[in-house]
Amino acid sequence: MSEMAVESTTYPAVATAFRRYFVWAQIVVVFLFLEVAIWASTVEIRNRWAAISGITILILVLTDLLMDRSRSSWASFYRLGIGLPKAADAGVVLGIGFATLLFMMIFVRSLGGQIPANPTLFPNLQSASGYVIWALIQEFILQSFFFNRFEELYGSASAVWIAATLFAAVHLPNPILTTATLIGALFFCEAFRRYRSIYPLAMVHAMLGLTIALTVPNSLLHHMRVGIGYLRY
């Protein structure tokens, strides 16, 4: 084999290996930033690291979007999941979400649970609207950032499980939210893999999150806090 032939096969292999290390570095850095934001000792530090995490994610996503010349602009937006969904796809996701919501409420009532479980804490319209926006942000982080990177590394089927597990880990040590987010994220990631839009996922995410707040006693839920906030509740 000539020297030129060796070089032609070596450079792509090196580039591929470098890309994998670079993608993993992005995942680790952002995850650590999020964990600092969740576990920091003061609200000021948590807010600072939350802002740093958000800016870092946006920069990395935009950088990938600008550098990905192998796809058209539409294909890149489709991959991120920020395009509008097809009506049929959105209907499937919303239908499953609404059915799950009804099941949760019927199940709690069958066990003799009170609904609302926390009358003084159940959010008003303004806070519920804010939670919808927060659900959209979470789905962007989960799908457009983490899922896409795990998909690039291990394929879409494996990415569903890896991204969902990581998402659940972020909700430690809250046992209710950790369990619920693992189950929910498996559905969200699989739906994203199939339909590639974060908007119906965010709507279902918000519906189910508010249903948890409506049906789970705050003595267990700790006002839906995670990290150090859960322990200090």
Structure confidence at residue 6 (pLDDT): 47
Q: What's the pLDDT at 147?
A: 98
Using a CB cutoff of 8 Å and minimum separation of 24, what contacts does 138-141 make?
Answer: 138/202, 138/205, 139/81, 139/188, 139/192, 139/198, 139/201, 139/202, 139/205, 140/57, 140/81, 140/82, 140/198, 141/34, 141/57
State the Rg of the chain over Cα: 20
User: What are the domain boundaries of the chain?
Assistant: 1-67, 83-231
**Residue-wise pLDDT tens digits, 33-91:** 999 999 999 999 999 999 999 999 999 999 888 877 666 667 778 889 998 999 999 99
Using one digit for the tens of pLDDT, what is the confidence trace for 159-180?
Answer: 999 999 999 999 999 999 999 9
Total-model pTM: 0.91
pLDDT reported for residue 14:
87
| pLDDT at position 5 over 70 | no
pLDDT of res. 100: 97
The residues, any chain, with a CB within 8 Å of residue 110's CB and separated by 6 or more, are: none
Render pLDDT for 211-226 as a digit per residue (tens, 0 to 9): 999 999 999 999 899 9
Predicted pLDDT of residue 77: 80
